[in-house]
Amino acid sequence: MSASLKIQKGHVAYCIQSAAGTFTSHNLLQQLMLADNVHIIGATYEKSQEGLVFVPGSTYAEGRNALLYEACRVEVVRLRFRFSYLVFVDDDIEILGGSFSAWHSDLLFWEPAVMVPSYRSLLDQRRYKGRPVGVWQYDSFFVAYHRELADALLPLNTSLDDAKVCWWSSSFYIQYLSGIHLQGHCLLSDRLVVQGMKEGTYPRQGCRRNWVWKLIKATHADIMPSLDDLDKIAGPTWYLEWGVARKRGEKSYDLSRQNATNWRLHSWRAPPIKGRRCNLWNNRMVCWTHGVPLPLFPNFTTAEAP
């Protein structure tokens, strides 16, 4: 409903769902308020609050879709322009280091299709030379979508999710689809370093990424070379290198169109992203001095079908 409006570059919508309107994170809202051109869109699922969208008993994807619709409504009714990025964030995200202003600078400079912050790590400077890195599979608890990509792939397809065992399949689908089409344009930037404060209690232990991957392959049988070569990385391992960071230029992010320029993969290698692991110590971020792969999400397990 807002498609006819002009995109206002640099204006970013942060779409945050919480139980009752109070964030679990002690510094997410505080840090967001320090950045320019930030618009906060909120939704709750347990208790209604004035000024926030109430989606009682909603799943992860249903809540994010409600936030998407509310962001579009705000554009039409109040702003009369469109956001350049839609960022979906869980309310328990804790900021360990960096800043939203610095992270937004990377958004503006590189104009990625997707960008995520670094998870408890600083990127290896010798390997990446201060640039973001292409990322294959990441935690969707904090993810920014370029508006053109969001228009093509959102809302999330809730029919892919199983309300009893896995609420993440619809997010996995977007990760795989954008990854194979937009290698080097799905980036991780360590100009913002985050962690989750709590382990979610919603259904996810029955998630089967390989089922979603098979669905992607079935609808992309004409891609050459064969996507069979990616089977080994389309599994439970997260935060793998996926191409060198590339500026957008004239690249199309509209994956609803069959654009041949979006089908070429530049590299099949996907080693773990290298960095220094970090954590909070006396309210400041401290990082190990030796290079280690980025850690997997703590306590994350997944039941992969054979």
* 47 found inside a domain: yes
Could you tell me where the DSSP H helices lie in the chain?
28-32, 60-74, 100-110, 125-128, 147-153, 169-181, 209-218
* 153 found inside a domain: yes
Predicted local distance difference test score (pLDDT) of residue 293: 44
* 90 found inside a domain: yes
Q: How sure is the predictor about 235, in pLDDT bands with cuts at 50, 70 and 90?
A: confident
Residue 96's Cβ-side half-sphere holds a number of Cα atoms within 13 Å equal to 20
Predicted local distance difference test score (pLDDT) of residue 259: 52
- For the chain, the domain total comes to 1
* 268 found inside a domain: yes
The proportion of the chain whose per-residue pLDDT surpasses 90, expressed as a percent, equals 63
* 299 found inside a domain: no
Q: How sure is the predictor about 296, in pLDDT bands with cuts at 50, 70 and 90?
A: very low
> Cα–Cα distance between 123 and 277 in angstroms, integer?
9
In this predicted model, what pLDDT tens digit does every residue of 2-40 receive, in sequence order? Answer: 778 999 999 999 999 999 998 999 899 999 999 999 999
Residue 49: burial class (beta carbons within 10 Å; 0-12, 13-18, 19+): middle
* 270 found inside a domain: yes
Predicted local distance difference test score (pLDDT) of residue 298: 34
CATH label of the domain that carries residue 15? 3.90.550
Tokens of 94: 């804790």
Q: How sure is the predictor about 297, in pLDDT bands with cuts at 50, 70 and 90?
A: very low
> Cα–Cα distance between 57 and 70 in angstroms, integer?
18
pTM across the whole model: 0.90
Predicted local distance difference test score (pLDDT) of residue 260: 46
* 298 found inside a domain: no
Predicted local distance difference test score (pLDDT) of residue 145: 98
Enclosing domain of residue 19: 7-293
The proportion of the chain whose per-residue pLDDT surpasses 70, expressed as a percent, equals 86
* 239 found inside a domain: yes
In this predicted model, what pLDDT tens digit does every residue of 97-121 receive, in sequence order? Answer: 999 999 999 999 999 999 999 999 9
Predicted local distance difference test score (pLDDT) of residue 1: 61
